[in-house]
Amino acid sequence: VMRRNPFGMDICCRKGSRSPLQELYNPTQVSLSNTAILHQIRRDQVTDTCRANSVSSRKRRVLTPNDLKHLVVDEDHEMIYCYVPKVACTNWKRVMMVLTGRGKYSDPMEIPANEAHVSSNLKTLNQYSIPEINHRLKNYIKFLFVREPFERLVSAYRNKFTQKYNTSFHKRYGTKIVRRQRKNATQEALRKGDDVKFEEFVAYLIDPHTQREEPFNEHWQTVYSLCHPCHIHYDLIGKYETLEEDSNYILQLAGVGNYLKFPTYAKSTRTTDEMTTEFFQNISSEHQTQLYEVYKLDFLMFNYSVPSYLKLE
C-alpha cells in the first residue's frame, strides 16, 4: 500500500492491502490460523471475567484522555499497543520506534533503553481528537502483553527499590513507605528511602490510605487499570511466558515479520517464579490475601492460577 505521509514523500507501509486486523480474523496463512484460535481463547477469558465481575455492565465509564496514555499508536501498520511496565515494554517500545520511525531505526536493540522511554519518541492515543481516537480503536489491531501478576510485582520491587541508581523512586516512594510502615525508622532511612523491605512494600500497597491518596505508580498498577481491557477490546493478548512467539506473531500480522524480529536475549537477572516464591515467604497470610484481592482481576482475566506458595485466608 502506498500512502502519502505528512512529510510529503511516499513510503511503502505493507505488502498487500490487508490490515493486521483482517489478517487476524480471516487468516490467509494456515500457520497463522492455529495461533488465532489461542488468542480467541484469551480474548474470551477477558470478556467472561469482565462480565462475571460486572465490570462492563455497570454504567459504562467513559474513558478519559488520561486513560489512553499507555496506548502507543502505529499509524503506518494500523496497530495500537498498550504498554505494561515490567512486561518487556522497553523492547516493545523499541520495536514500535522501528515501525513508526519511517526508516530512522532498523535494529530495535540499537536504540538505548532510556531513549525508548522518552515520551516524544512515540505517539499515544490521548494525543488525538475524540473522532480520531474512536476511528483508531475501531479499525486498528490492539494488543498488550501480560505477566503473572506477583512475578511482575516482585520484578518492579527489585528494579525500583533494590537498585542503588533508582534514587528518584527511593525519594518519591521509598521515603513514604518507610515513614508509614517502619516503626522507629532511622533519620537516614526516612531521608533516603533506599532500603525498603518487600514486606513494607506489600503493606504499603494494601494500605487503604495509599489507594485513596493517588493511583498506583505504573510499575505496580494493575494491567486492568493501565489498559482498561473491559472497555477496550484487545484483539491480541500476548504473554510474557510466550513472549517471543506472541511478539513475532504480531509482527507477522503486521506484514513485517520477514525483516523484523522481536529482540530476544535471556536476562540473567530476570525475576522468576522461584524468586517470587522466596519473596512471599515472609509475607503473612493476611497480607497475602489482601494483596491477592488487589491483583485478583489480573489473575482471573489473563488466566493465571493462584500461586501454590500463597497461604490465602
Query: In the chain, which stretches have pLDDT less than 70?
Result: 1-17, 55-61, 266
Interval 34-66: pLDDT, tens: 888 899 999 999 999 999 987 654 555 678 888
The reported pLDDT for the residue numbered 265 is 72
pLDDT at 63: 86
Which residues is 124 bridged to in the sheet? 72
Radius of gyration for the chain, computed over Cα atoms and rounded to the nearest angstrom:
21
Joined together, the cell numbers standing for residue 177 give 513507605
Percent of the chain as helix, strand, coil, to the nearest 5: 50, 10, 40
User: 124-127: long-range contacts (C-beta < 8 A, 24 or more apart)?
Assistant: 124/68, 124/69, 124/70, 124/71, 124/72, 124/73, 125/68, 125/69, 125/71, 125/72, 125/73, 125/80, 126/65, 126/66, 126/67, 126/68, 126/69, 126/71
